[in-house]
Amino acid sequence: MHNGLNYFRVIKSYTMKNSIKTILAICVFAISAISSAQKAPTFEKGNDPRPKDKKWKLVKNQSDEFKGSSLNKSKWVTGGGWIGRPPGLFMQDNIKVKDGSLKITAYTLPQPIVKNKKTFIHGGGYVGSVAPSKYGYYEARMKANKTFMSSTFWLINEGRNESGCNKRTVELDIQECVGEINTKGKWAQHFDRSMHSNTHSRNIPEGCDYVKGIKGTNTDLKEGMVYDDYHVYGAWWKSETEVWFYLDGVLTEKVTPAADFDINMHIRMVVETYDWNPVPADGGMTGTEEERTTSYD
């Protein structure tokens, strides 16, 4: 086991000295020698996993309270090679920092846009961390949008910066949800009222002895829907074989990924379309701007 703890808050980050890391809304924390002045991740009584002789320490380059009027470009990027999944295209004009929150608003494009021979009719958004991290507690205080498009908080590695077997993909989905469900699949019926979390292992290079697979958990909110109010979604990426998931400061599940989680990953906050949740007949964008907005506080 690693002898330190970090905390990342998708807004703030913390770590434990002697070093195990963590993330929050956005925050990232790590553990170090105890100090009464040190802030910590969100935990209900009896749920904080840190050893008594350690403390959580904020990882500042992956934490943000979004108090200004624009994104801190030294911490966050809004573009890249990934343009979104049709019919949702990642746009720039719908990403704002306002009222102490990062806001990504889903909307209907004024006219269809064709890219890579695919047609896009809705605007989504993508915000990712500049800095990568490995191990720690990641936490985001998020209010989902009320559309068929997603509201998400997750991490993934960038294989193009790796070599050999590390070019495989590892992904840590802390929260993936939607505000409107348009599928009859039983597995998806609580995506508008639950914390849906997964660990992924895929794209294994030939000759590499890693298992492909998905392991995760689903936890219903105590009350209401994901778009009714803010909730704190967290995960302690404790080691290469352990991920603990937390909802509103309460431990929900301990998961062992299919393959070792020992590669640096980047934070992602994304509003996108899912192929399993199609556009509804009315176009899916009939709500107010607030109802169509995912907010990270």
Does residue 176 have an active-site annotation? yes
159: helix, coil or strand? Answer: helix
Closest CA relative to residue 68, chosen from 98, 103, 105, 26: 98
Task: Please say if 158 is a catalytic residue.
Answer: no
Catalytic residue from among 139, 171, 240, 290: 171
Cβ proximity of 8 and 267 under 8 Å: yes
Q: Distance between CA atoms of 271 and 12, rounded to whole angstroms?
A: 20
Catalytic residue among 65, 162, 176, 180: 176
- List, as own/partner pairs, every contact residues 64-69 make where C-beta atoms lie below 8 angstroms and the sequence separation is at least 24, other chains included: 64/10, 64/11, 64/12, 64/26, 64/102, 65/11, 65/12, 65/100, 66/11, 66/97, 66/100, 66/101, 66/102, 66/296, 66/297, 67/100, 68/97, 69/97, 69/98
How many CA within 13 A on the CB side of residue 145? Answer: 29
User: What phi and psi, each to the nearest 5 degrees, are found at residue 262?
Assistant: -135, 30
Closest CA to 172 of 124, 140, 147, 125: 140
- As a residue count, the chain comes to 297
**What amino acid positions are annotated as catalytic residues?**
171, 176
